[in-house]
Amino acid sequence: MRANVPSYDLVAPRDLAHALSLLPDYRPLAGGTDVMVLFEAGKLDHRCWQSILHLRELRGVTEAPDFVTLGALTTYSDIRRSSLLGAEFPLLAEAAAQVGGMATQNRGTVGGNIVNASPAADTPPALLAYDAEVELTSLRGSRWVRYASFHTGYKRMDLAPDELLTAVRLPRGGRVTKSSYRKVGTRRAQAISKVCFAATCTGDRIRIGLASVAPVPLLVEATRADARERLEAALAPIDDIRSTAAYRRQVALNLLEEFLA
């Protein structure tokens, strides 16, 4: 433990309104699976945090005619256990099953996975493939944003300092004829992805969500005919300690070939 622990404050808001009133001074901490890693390494600069994991109103899967909505604090385990998501949005269920180990899945949340803004996160490709929207809430009110436009650059988001990501919704009724999720990680479990590929095919339209191939989770919308070309143009991978740009590029293209086959 490299942090000077007593110099950090952590408070528990009474409810969502209280939590919003504490923003932006007290930053939100949910399952802790990302924030606590930085903290442990002595690399967490911000000192005041609010723990929001207990806010029940932000957790759970609800069904409406046009959408299935996940509270931002819905955990990966919650997602895996939801038969509704398993049936209608299997890529998301698959993504949740591939995050960390059981202990991480019990704590980590879909909202946290999004706002941590890692380009290697596991659920964003699935959310992009399903054309998800995210709800951003502040004391000023709420707004829905298309997830595809949420990440604006490396670790940058369409999220004001006083806003909290409160929900994610997935549009229903799309006639997905084929879908696939493939995480190519450093190992088969407890891995960070080197390439993560999620795709849905609806008639001729293909939506491909990708992670670890660009500074942000990437969406490529295409038809069968121009998918290769569009994917190739969108890829912007880098060399890092986990893989190489060349590998990432080629594997993303190979996975598309497999999907199209």
Partner 1 sequence: MESYVTTIRCTVNGIARSIKTPPMARLLDVLREEMDCTGVKEGCGEGECGACSVLLDGELVNSCLIPVLQGEDSTIVTIEGLAPSDSLHKIQHAFLDCGGAQCGICTPGMILATAALLERHPQPTPDQIREGLAGNLCRCTGYMRIFEAVEQAARG
Partner 2 sequence: MIGRPVPRKEGIAKVTGRARYVADMSLPGMLYGVTVRNPTGRGRIRNIVFEPGVPWEELTVVTARDIPGTNAVALLMNDQPVLADEVSAHIEEPVVLLAHPDRYLVEEARRRVRIEIDPLPQIFTLEDALAKREVIWGTDNIFKTFSVAKGDIQVGFAAADLIVEGEYETGAQEQLYIETNGMIATANLADGVTVWGSMQCPYYIHKALLPIFALPAEKVRIIQMETGGGFGGKEEYPSMIAAHAALLAWKSGKPVKLIYDRAEDMVATTKRHPSRTRHRTGLTKDGRLTAMEIEFDIDGGAYCTLSPVVLSRGTIHAAGPYECANVSIRSRAVATSIPPHGAFRGFGAPQSIFALERQMDRCARAVGLSPEEFRRRNFLHQGQSTATGQVIREKLELEKLLDRALELSHYRQRTEEFAKTNPASSLKRGIGFASFMHGAGFTGSGEVYLKSVVGVETTLEGNVRILTASTEIGQGTNTILSQIAAETLGLDYDRIELATPDTGQVPNSGPTVASRTCMVVGKLVEAACQGLKQILEASGLSIADYTRQFGPARAYSEYQPPPGVAWNDETYQGDAYGAFAWAVYVAVVEVDPATAEVRVTDFVALQEVGKVIHPVMATGQIEGGVAQAIGYALYEKVAWKNGHMANAQMTNYIMPTSADLPPIRVFFEENPYAYGPAGAKGIGELPMDGAAPAILNAIENALGVGFNEVPLTPEMIGDRLWSRT
Give me the residues that bind partner 1 (CB under 8 A), please: 1, 3-12, 29, 31-33, 36-37, 39-41, 47, 49, 51, 53-54, 77, 100-104, 106-107, 188-190
The reply on whether position 258 binds partner 2 by CB under 8 A is yes
Name the minimum Å distance from CB 61 to partner 1: 18
Residues near partner 2 (CB under 8 A), total? 33
Is 231 in a helix, a strand, or coil?
Answer: helix
- Picking from 85, 185, 88, the residue whose alpha carbon sits closest to that of residue 96 is 85
Does position 62 interact with partner 2 (CB under 8 A)? The reply is no
The C-alpha torsion from 69 through 52 and 102 to 5, rounded to 10°, is 160
Answer with the entry of partner 2, partner 1, none that 49 interacts with (C-beta below 5 to 8 A by kind): partner 1
Q: Check residue 44 for interaction with partner 2 (CB under 8 A).
A: no
Residue 257 in contact with partner 2, rule: CB under 8 A: yes
Question: Torsions phi, psi of 133, nearest 5?
Answer: -125, 150
Cβ–Cβ under 8 Å, residues 150 and 134: yes
Within 10 A of 179 (CB to CB), how many other CB atoms are there? 19
DSSP secondary structure letter of residue 6: G
Question: Is 125 in contact with 210 (CB distance < 8 Å)?
Answer: yes
Cα distance between residue 65 and residue 77, in whole Å: 24
Select from 77, 82, 137, 243 the one that contacts partner 2 (CB under 8 A): 243
Task: Candidates 9, 190, 229, 233: give the one binding partner 2 (CB under 8 A).
Answer: 190
Task: Provide the minimum distance between the beta carbon of 168 and partner 1 in the complex, in angstroms, as a whole number.
Answer: 22
- Using CB under 8 A, list all residues that contact partner 2: 1-7, 37, 41-42, 101, 184, 186-192, 194-195, 241-244, 246-247, 250-251, 254-255, 257-258
